[in-house]
Homo-oligomer: A and B are copies of this chain.
Amino acid sequence: MRVITTIKDMQTEIINLKAQSKSIGFVPTMGFLHEGHLTLLKRAREENNIVVLSIFVNPLQFGPTEDFSTYPRDFDRDQSLADCEGVDLLFYPSVEEMYHHSSSVRVTVQERTDVLCGKSRPGHFDGVATVLTKLFNIVMPTRAYFGIKDAQQVAVVEGLISDFNFPIELIPVDIVREEDGLAKSSRNVNLLPEERSEAVVLYKSLTAAKKAIEEGERNPQTIKDQVSDMIRSETHGQIDYVEIYTYPQLKEIQNLEGTCIIALAVKFSKVRLIDNIILEISQEIGGVK
């Protein structure tokens, strides 16, 4: 595995690889790798000649009150993990390298941002889309891998790639779950033991919603109420949101049909958890994937 810290070296390397018709799988991260990242790397390893991992804590996507300076970093550990997963090129630029002068341009995300978690993070997705535009031009990947756990980010990236015509295939990777269904997260360790048992209801409420839709329910409010009621009755957690939108457009919907997301966020005593399922809903009863 080669660690590259400059944009110029990275682009030179990639242009050489592309002249040899190598396919490039790219996993962009902010480092402090967890199991979710490793799943993305494994998938990229299976599907491409070359795997590129980037580690860059992007100041542009942190709000003024957010934790850019205290965001966890452990490059040595990340480097070992990347090596184990068969990463070929680890791109690890400094902030100075990525934003060396005042920027005259940035990407503005006009849709898909003012709902779900994005609602309380104005400008966050502009920062994400801007750094990804840079990284896509630096790494020039054939395929880019993102975890569907952050479904709103995947929706924004889908819009970015599609609207700007990046010649990149977006690969959304399924949520990895514990045996009892809880979505894996490095934050799960902050659940109290009782909360950990209760937290299983998040995914349980989503699968129950899926079942209700399979049985013919098409009213999103009814589904949202059912999910909320189940969470309230089976946890001490506070619901932040339970929402249903079209996916990936993230628009309100009156009657469930097409591709929809059911997404939720629940606050426990020391940690806020998110989960979601994405369903393909047709008009017939039972027509749900």
A: residues with CB less than 8 A from B are 7, 11, 15, 18-19, 21, 102-112, 129, 133-134, 137-138, 140, 156, 159-160, 163-167
Main secondary structure of the interface of A (DSSP, over half): mixed
Q: Per a CB cutoff under 8 Å, which of B104, B112, B167 touches A137?
A: B167
Q: How far is the CA of A109 from the CA of B105 in the complex (A)?
A: 4
What is the minimal beta-carbon distance from A117 to any residue of chain B, in angstroms?
17
Number of chain copies forming the complex:
2
Contacts of A165 in B (CB 8 A): 7, 11, 134, 137-138
Q: How far, in whole Å, are A21 and B20 apart by their CA atoms in the complex?
A: 9
Q: How far is the CA of A41 from the CA of B147 in the complex (A)?
A: 44
User: Are B109 and A159 touching (Cβ within 8 A)?
Assistant: no
Residues in chain B near residue A15, CB distance under 8 A = 167
Per the bound structure, the CA–CA distance linking A163 and B109 in Å amounts to 17
- Which chain B residues lie closer than 8 Å to A167 at the CB level? 11, 15, 137-138, 140
Query: In the complex, what residue of chain B is closest to A102 when comparing beta carbons?
Result: B111
Least CB separation from A168: chain B residue: B137
Return chain B residues, CB-CB under 8 Å to A109. Answer: 104-105
With the chains together, A90 CA to B107 CA distance in Å?
28
> With A7-B165, A137-B165 in contact, is A160–B105 under 8 Å at CB?
yes
